Amino acid sequence: MRTELETIIINPPSNGAFFKTAPTSPDVDVYNRPISEVFQQRLDAITSQKWESDQENAFFVADLGEVLRQHFRWKSLLPRIEPFYDPMVVQLLASLGCGFDCASKQEIQQVLDVGVEASRIIYANPCKQASFIRYAAQQNVSRMTFDNAEELLKIKKYYPEAELVLRILTDDSMSLCQLGLKFGAPLHTVQHLLQTAKDLDLNVVGVSFHVGSGCLDENAFGDAVLLARNVFDQAKCMGYDFKLLDVGGGFPGADVKDGITFEKVAAVLGPIVDRLFPTDVRVIAEPGRYYVASAFTLTTNIIGRRTSNAVTESSEPATNPEYMYYVNDGMYGSFNCIIFDHQVVHPKVLLKDELFMFGQDVPEAQYESSVWGPTCDSIDCLNKSTRLPKLEPGDWLYYENMGAYTICAASQFNGFRKSEVLYTNTFC
């Protein structure tokens, strides 16, 4: 049963986005309420439909208003650098004029299907399937990356008119996910690659780099820009006239308040780009995590509890019990970020004894606890050690900052479904 919703209609003027409410449409249903109210309304509906099939499934609440706030924050601090987004909150960002960094045929198709022009897409996968290159050619998605000579030969065969961007290797040792292990041309190979492209009569138009996902050092961006400037100069000596710089990703989201923040990155990246590159060079970025990390909140239902030290060796009841909680989303689903993105997630109590607790501290004793996903695999542990009040099956936990590398990489291992997403817009 669907709750009555309002739909957000995105129809932006040239200087931004315009929003109005309209009757529900099949495109996207969006609440215009605080996140807490969306959670409470859904949980109230579950209580009233208590025996309906699968009614207690885990679900996300995604705040499009947070995406908007992040967009305007980006435009304020890095106005010259165009965000090219990894396509998750596609329709909203398309309306804001963002470009899209796509890794496959399916992602290109997803973006084209919402009306994005091919000129706003970069096929930023340095190793591409031949049939995907042919598809890009058919759709006039001409801009794509490479980092080796074999890829140039492939592109020459399937899309010789492409506009190529050389992805160089930079220092990503200060990042949680070091993408340089897989992609990026070492600087000593640059001349050979550019000469190979010239011999094949291919059109190289610029340089890209990626300092790694979850970068922990803002100066890594500045160092990478210096390397890119050197490649621009080297290419110019070979007769090229590059007009595109892609500064990649690794930007922290709004959830990062200490250490490396977006403000610190912008203070390094913006000035060095302006100093080293004239205004006729187009500068783009791939800020996937930045836009959505803080926009998604996931709630999971406690489906079971086990007291791991119910009795002592003397068969007396334990005076300080420890609990294992089992919830209905896990490492093979939305929490794959723990493995793939090195995230540390923190459970909070959403509903306890039918009392709604969003944003509140639970004034009860806290016990040593662990939280486990629903599959039969022992790797499916979300929290090995955390402090929680004593909870019962049927209570709910929630996890904030779950927008980056979560549901997009979820599987359905052991037959468990991917979590549903409810949308709201808190932008004012």
User: Which of the listed residues 285, 314, 341 is the one where a domain comes to its end?
Assistant: 285
Q: Residues 233, 328: one domain?
A: no
376 belongs to the catalytic site: yes
Residues 138 and 42 in one domain: no
Is residue 152 located within the same domain as residue 298? no
Q: In Å, what is the CA distance from 400 to each residue of 185, 258, 293, 363?
A: 37, 17, 9, 20
- The answer to whether the beta carbons of residues 291 and 252 sit under 8 Å apart is no
Q: Give pLDDT tens digits for 267-311.
A: 999 999 999 999 999 999 999 889 999 999 999 999 999 998 765
251 close to 217: Cβ distance less than 8 angstroms: no
Residues 268 and 215 in one domain: yes
Q: Is 21 helix (H, G, I), strand (E, B) or coil?
A: strand
Are residues 146 and 217 both part of a single domain? yes
Out of 135-149, 321-335, 402-416, which region has the weakest mean confidence (pLDDT)? Answer: 402-416
Distance CA 154, CA 156 (A): 5
- 175, 258: one domain: yes
**Higher-pLDDT residue of 57, 50:** 57
pLDDT confidence band for 6 (50 / 70 / 90): very low
> Which residues are 177's β-sheet partners?
213
Is the pLDDT confidence value at 15 over 50?
no
How far is Cα 51 from Cα 242, in angstroms, rounded to an integer?
63
CATH label of the domain that carries residue 164: 3.20.20.10
Q: Beta 323-327 vs 296-307: how paired, if at all? A: antiparallel
**Residue 4 pLDDT more than 90?**
no
Q: Which domain holds residue 392?
A: 36-63+294-424
Instruction: Name the active-site residue from 376, 381, 408, 428.
Output: 376
Residue 2 pLDDT class (50, 70, 90 cuts): very low
Structural domain includes residue 29: no
Cα separation of 314 and 326, whole Å? Answer: 28
85 with 93: CB under 8 angstroms?
yes
Give a yes or no: residue 123 inside a domain.
yes
Contact (CB, 8 A) for 190 and 168:
yes
Report CA 230 to chain centroid distance, whole Å: 30
Residue 319 is predicted with a pLDDT of 72
Q: Which of 306, 299, 300, 310 is nearest to 373 (CA)?
A: 300
Instruction: Decide the pairing of beta strands 7-10 and 19-22.
Output: antiparallel
Reported as half-sphere exposure (CB side, CA atoms, 13 A), residue 29 has a value of 11
Task: For residue 219, give Cα distances in angstroms to 174, 223, 225, 409.
Answer: 10, 6, 10, 30
The reported pTM is 0.86
Instruction: Give 218-249 pLDDT, tens digit per residue.
Output: 999 999 999 999 999 999 999 999 999 999 99
Statement: residue 17 has pLDDT above 50: no
Query: Are 279 and 191 within one domain?
Result: yes
Residue 177 has pLDDT above 60, yes or no: yes
For residue 206, what pLDDT is reported? 98
In the DSSP assignment, the letter for residue 106 is H
